[in-house]
Structure 1
Amino acid sequence: MIMQKIWLTGLDWDDELPESLACEIRQWYIELSDLNKIKVQRCIQIEQEGELHVFVDASSDAYGTVVYSVKPQLSWSNIVAAKGKVAPLKSQSIPRMELLAAVLGLTLTLIICSALKIDISHCTFWSDSMNVLYWIHSQSRKYKTFVANRIGFIHEHTSPSQWRYVPTKENPADMTSRGIPVNDLAESVQWWHGPKFLEYGPEFWPENKFQLHEAGKIEMKRNSMNSSFIDVNTDSDFRLDPAQYSDWNHLLRISAWVHRFIDNCQVAKHERRLSPELSIHELQQAEFQIIRTAQAECFSVEYPCLLKG
């Protein structure tokens, strides 16, 4: 990251560095002598009941991932591998950087799974980016090329249900994206063994949540963005009549299944189709659609005005 900062200043090889950069370099050299404090446990024993947990994170300067071997029945977890990269020189949004971190985490995990003979389905992926998790739990074709290609790669190798939310303070990959002094790294229990919740069962894991924020909406294709508004035409539009259903939950779930069917019909045979159980995201989308339809019918004057901006 320091080298990248130097390149961006445009200095020649024999120019004197600004004092701020010179201080960073001096501190980096001082910390080199502390590297002998770092002890890495190299022995990795993966039995049949073992799992891999992968954490990813990004900042404006770098992105990275760290992978842990976990044995919940023994309340044991230990680092397997980690990898970090500096941010591209071409400026990227933070959600895109976090997506790059997710792809890096999956790529490293595929290598580890191949070496240790582990099925990728036994891996759980963790990110603190709600935008990235929302994209992963959606269909890649809704987004622009940069996001669509990378979400497609993630869907090719993993199921969306394998991707979960972790609060930033419990995400050890934060150290790969922001850096950490050597002395702190040597003593960091979270870095070497992961967050405490890994030692316990899924019932103790953080609540899984994801939603699309404004920064993430920028990546949606224009026709997908416009789909948040619907044109109301009672003669031609298909929708379920709420009066035909005895309760809200019944209407909601059938609506979600109808949307699932329509989405799967638009996906090519070689692409991953959604199945078998409805996700929370699909139920939320069905609920939003029912509400949108009701609003469009009840506010018939205001709705076209909103469509026109």
Structure 2
Amino acid sequence: MTNFTAEDALHIYSYASEKAISAFCFVMTATETGFVLGKSRLAPANTTIQRLELCAAVLATEVAEIISEHLDYPMERFIFNSDSRVVLGYLNNQSRRFYTYVANRVQIILKRTNVHQWNYVHTSNNPADLATRCATPAKKLDANMWITGPNTLPNETRCPDTFTLVDEDKDSKIRPFVKVSKTDINRDITETFEKFFSWKSLIKVESLTDKKRVGSKSSIALLNPFLDKNGTLRMGWRIHKATFNTDFKHPILVPRKSHIAGLLVNNFHVLVHHQGTLYTEAALRNHGYWIVGVKRLVSSIIYQCVTCRRLRGNLVNQRIANLPEDRLTPGPPFTYVGVDTFGPWPVVTRRTRGGVAESKRWAIIFVCLFTGAAHIEVIEDMSSSAFINALRRFISVRGPVKEF
């Protein structure tokens, strides 16, 4: 091909046998066909032909990436041809899941190409088949289709049918369906009525539905409950005319012994970062929930919270280490001493007619480790020479020191 243009189509053919896999690229126009690039690899041992055909399809995408990089040809315009309906079924699959080996390679192919770029070609018209056969180079050169391309135009090799999975129930690379049976139990309202032993009790329960007040002996009677337009039980307060949102003015009533109440408390207890009962209750209230008997429920959940028990556990007292031998061995004072410095403090060093000159002073303290006696030396600055002079004065008065 001497006059290659961007309008010419690049076709890549892939093929796999038990001995090798291959992929070849040809540039095709209405008048001629030319060889562009081909690659082949030895097939790995102990694998199935379906896996090898999938590996050949991956090799075809690698060839396309090489050509796209060097010829500046977009990947979306390549046309891929394979004689494996199994591979084409894998690529067009939308309903089944594959095991890891197949799933990874299908993901690689679909990441580099589009499923609509893949077509079917018959094996007899697949030039990539020649690269997987054992033959001498002379015989390879004699193979006309390997150099000049397939015998028919690409439009004649395409299959208009939709590719589906081949023997999907018998294919070991496809994950089997897991069937789960679910039973929905529609409880009749009469089963709820059977829990009540008198007509008066049932009428009290149904009173809210009829827009009446609950019974005076109910645990939520003082909360003035009512049903909103969605049938949700809410708390009625005297702040109905306030400008707050509805969830704050009329929080949803939740029974303390219900599973939902425990989930709500756990959720907001974590949101407030385990800060205790008051913060958890406030978070529930601000988000529009009112749990009857919330203090007892929050306290029990916080008591069972592992994080809170660790944060509020008893403090461990650190055991004091044994005193060193220097502080327990009798001897002359200031045989073993500890040294420290303190200050500064201002002092008046010179008074003149024009004013007062002030400066700073520090002190070095020497403490006897056995008797606790202290010796103080005043220094004018924090320099090394000042400390050495103070140490010499201390030794001249107290005698030599064994250890500091």
TM-score normalised by the chain length of structure 2: 0.42
Q: Tell me the SS of whatever aligns to 2:165.
A: coil
1:54 to 2:12 alignment: yes
- Of 80, 83, 93, which aligns to 2:36? 80
Q: Tell me the SS of whatever aligns to 2:41.
A: strand
Which residue is equivalent to 1:36?
A: none
CA RMSD of aligned residues (A): 2.8
Q: Is the 8 A contact 1:142 1:220 kept in 2?
A: yes
Any unmatched runs of 5+ in structure 1?
Answer: 1-42, 237-309
Q: Which runs of 4+ in 1 moved over 4 A?
A: 230-236
- Of 128, 131, 140, which aligns to 1:173? 128
Q: What is the Cα deviation at residue 122 of structure 1? A: 1.1
CA separation of 1:235 and 1:158: change in aligned 2, threshold 3 A: farther
Which residue is equivalent to 2:394?
A: none
CA separation of 1:208 and 1:190: change in aligned 2, threshold 3 A: farther
CA separation of 1:50 and 1:86: change in aligned 2, threshold 3 A: same
- Return the alpha-carbon distance in structure 1 between the equivalents of residues 149 and 54 of structure 2: 21
Q: Is the 8 A contact 2:82 2:121 kept in 1?
A: yes
Q: Is the 8 A contact 2:17 2:49 kept in 1?
A: yes
- Of 173, 178, 198, which aligns to 1:219? 173
1:205 to 2:157 alignment: yes
Question: Whose helix proportion is higher, 1 or 2?
Answer: 1
TM-score normalised by the chain length of structure 1: 0.54
Point out the structure with max Rg over C-alpha. 2
Q: Is the 8 A contact 2:26 2:149 kept in 1?
A: yes
- Return the alpha-carbon distance in structure 2 between the equivalents of residues 173 and 232 of structure 1: 51
- Return the alpha-carbon distance in structure 2 between the equivalents of residues 235 and 128 of structure 1: 52
State the aligned residue count.
Answer: 184
CA separation of 1:138 and 1:189: change in aligned 2, threshold 3 A: same
Residue identity matched to 1:207:
C
Q: What is the Cα deviation at residue 235 of structure 1? A: 10
Q: What is the Cα deviation at residue 182 of structure 1? A: 2.5
Which residue is equivalent to 1:163?
A: 118
Any unmatched runs of 5+ in structure 2?
Answer: 187-404
Q: Is the 8 A contact 2:21 2:53 kept in 1?
A: yes
1:154 to 2:109 alignment: yes
Q: Is the 8 A contact 1:147 1:219 kept in 2?
A: yes
Identity of aligned residues (%): 29
Question: Whose strand proportion is higher, 1 or 2?
Answer: 2
Which residue is equivalent to 2:139?
A: 184
Which one scores higher on RCO, CA 8 angstroms, separation ≥ 6?
A: 1
